[in-house]
Amino acid sequence: MSVAESGRFEKIKVPSAYQMVAEAIEREIMAGRLRPGDEIGTEAELVRQFGVNRSTVREGIRLLEQGGLVQREAGRKLYVCLPHYRKLSDRMSRALVLHQVTFRELFNASMILELGVIEAAVDNADADDLAALEANQKQAEAAVDDPVRLAEIDTNFHALLARASGNRVLELAREPAALLFFPTSELICRRVPQGAGRMVTAHRHMIDAVASRDKEAARVWTRRHLVDWRKGFERAGRDIDEPVERIFERLSTARQYS
Amino acid sequence: MSVAESGRFEKIKVPSAYQMVAEAIEREIMAGRLRPGDEIGTEAELVRQFGVNRSTVREGIRLLEQGGLVQREAGRKLYVCLPHYRKLSDRMSRALVLHQVTFRELFNASMILELGVIEAAVDNADADDLAALEANQKQAEAAVDDPVRLAEIDTNFHALLARASGNRVLELAREPAALLFFPTSELICRRVPQGAGRMVTAHRHMIDAVASRDKEAARVWTRRHLVDWRKGFERAGRDIDEPVERIFERLSTARQYS
DNA sequence: TTCGTCCCTTTGTCGGACAAAGATTGCACA
DNA sequence: TGTGCAATCTTTGTCCGACAAAGGGACGAA
């Protein structure tokens, strides 16, 4: 029963062959000797190079596959690729759910992240970003009576805003929380009559604030938007201290926005 | 050369058996029917249940393994486990590097995240958190002449602060950036004579601010701490708009802090 | 040129095999 | 009766060989 054998020496780990295969390939990628778009050799070539069996090579490849470092094009050749944000964020979100974080944590973190995002967006948004936001707003206005669709549009709105920030670190940092947070708008729009209208109004003011580079208005309306969420959440009879439940059935089938 | 065949139909994806194995197990976990700590059956059992070959089962398991959803205890039984933050953050950091984000993005994002973290820490830190921070501070004072060690301590300082925030969403959101950002303190302490001293001083004031629940002081000193980083970074002859380079050799061998 | 057909390559899956190491059983001995 | 040790069973990691399906290219016909 020695789970945490605390002592003088570190536990010796003897990596298995398939792990070493994965690590070797990953090192090549991280060192820049394999670049995104390059194709890794065939399994037969890897078998020759590493001197292990094909089964072992394949297990190593599976490890990389999940990390998003390599991709198979339609069951065919194996390419190095840039891990896609969305996929990584999905994993993160799953972890948050399994760790049973509360809606309060989600709310507080999102307040910080979204305020940061919109401030950066005020500084950096260009015409394309604004056009994308306007298009999203049009969709929202047309969907005020469809909670499912509206929640999806809301999620996209904030993703577009994050992209407009021009800061990919921030964009990635907010995404795991956002993937759990904004889809709950559906619940709120469904239970609170004026919820949808207030959401659309807030989005309108946020876009305008970004367009006119008005940081103060941007902060005010973002905060209001999120506080609305919280009020709606409680009015819908939910407790903000309950853990985020498993809402991934919807998320995993949601349409990609990029 | 049809990489992005944009057309009327979505691409048809035919999932292979090993992917279905992984997805089936993952569904069980996310649905709560398999809980962290439970042991997944032996490979032989999975072979029976899924009706596929052992090689296929093993490839499926490798997919889950990388995601951190399952863990093998010393080459032995397979358990469901909670994905560890550190591992997920490592993946995220790698992705940021591969996407060639700039130090400017890293700096701006960290400013937002760390300010958010310390405000939450001011509200939520308990005696244990403060004790841990004090212990870290002692280490830092003893290592002012060792840039490598000091950078590690700085990284840990901010991780402890994030934990003190009591917000795991925020803690996770900041980590990918932090894993890239704070280790660069080594460079600065090495190149800028007064860098180490200013760092220790800033940490001192940050701890005091958290202990005395002084949010304004906490913000001021955090901002000063990060601005110091930026000045040092430029004084060390680096351009803040250059992409984050590949510094993972160090990171991957860095000691775990939790 | 365009199209279809044949052939080669590569992947996904299967079946079986074996050594090493953990887990279990059973026995000898105190 | 309880304890320590050896034999045995189980499970994993790795290897080997095999085959169907699908992609890709060569080659010839229209």
Mean pLDDT across B162-183 = 94
Domain A17-80 has CATH 1.10.10.10: yes
Q: What pLDDT sits at residue A1?
A: 35
d(CA A196, CA A140): 9
Sign of the C-alpha dihedral computed for residues B193, B110, A243 and B91 taken in this order? negative
Mean pLDDT across A24-52 = 90
Q: Lowest mean pLDDT of A216-225, B102-111, B248-257, name the range.
A: B248-257
pLDDT tens readout for residues A127-171: 999 999 999 999 999 988 888 889 999 999 999 999 999 999 999
- Assign A36 a pLDDT band (cuts: 50, 70, 90): confident
- Assign B10 a pLDDT band (cuts: 50, 70, 90): low
Top-confidence residue, B205 or A246 = B205
Mean pLDDT across A97-109 = 95
Mean pLDDT across A71-83 = 81
**How close does chain B come to A83, measured CA to CA in Å?**
6
The phi and psi torsions of B13 (rounded to 5 degrees) equal: -115, 125
- In this prediction the ipTM stands at 0.85
Q: Which of A36, A58, A66 sits opposite B66 (nearest CB)?
A: A66
- Assign B9 a pLDDT band (cuts: 50, 70, 90): low
Tokens 């602060």, residue? B161
d(CA B158, CA B137): 11
Contacts of B176 in chain A (CB under 8 A): 169, 172-173
Highest mean pLDDT among B29-33, B177-181, B195-199: B177-181
Q: How far is the CA of A53 from the C1' of C18 (A)?
A: 14
pLDDT tens readout for residues A201-242: 999 999 999 999 999 999 999 999 999 999 999 988 889 999
- Assign B54 a pLDDT band (cuts: 50, 70, 90): very high
**Percent residues over pLDDT 90 in chain B:** 60
Cβ <8 Å between A95 and B177: no
Q: What pLDDT sits at residue A247?
A: 59
Work out the number of other CB atoms within 10 angstroms of the CB of residue A89: 21
Average pLDDT over chain A reads 87
Q: What pLDDT sits at residue B1?
A: 35
Q: What pLDDT sits at residue A8?
A: 53
Cβ <8 Å between B65 and A67: no
Contacts of A166 in chain B (CB under 8 A): 105
Mean pLDDT across B47-75 = 90
Residue type, position A251, single letter: L
Q: Which residues pair with A39 in a beta bridge?
A: A79
Return the domain boundaries, chain B: 17-80, 86-253
Q: Which residues pair with A70 in a beta bridge?
A: A80
d(CA B65, CA A197): 45
Q: Lowest mean pLDDT of A42-51, A245-254, B148-157, B222-231, name the range.
A: A245-254
Q: Which of B63, B85, B112 sits opposite A66 (nearest CB)?
A: B63
Work out the number of other CB atoms within 10 angstroms of the CB of residue A50: 17
d(CA B200, CA B150): 9
The phi and psi torsions of B115 (rounded to 5 degrees) equal: -65, -40
Q: What pLDDT sits at residue B108?
A: 97
Q: What pLDDT sits at residue B78?
A: 87
For A254, the token pair is 């949601």
In Å, how far are A23, A29, A219, B123, B219 from B185, measured between CA atoms?
27, 25, 32, 27, 20
Q: What pLDDT sits at residue B253?
A: 42
Query: Is-same-fold flag (B17-80; B86-253)?
Result: no
Q: What pLDDT sits at residue B202?
A: 95
CATH of B86-253, one of 1.10.357.10, 3.90.1150.10, 1.20.120.530, 3.40.30.10: 1.20.120.530
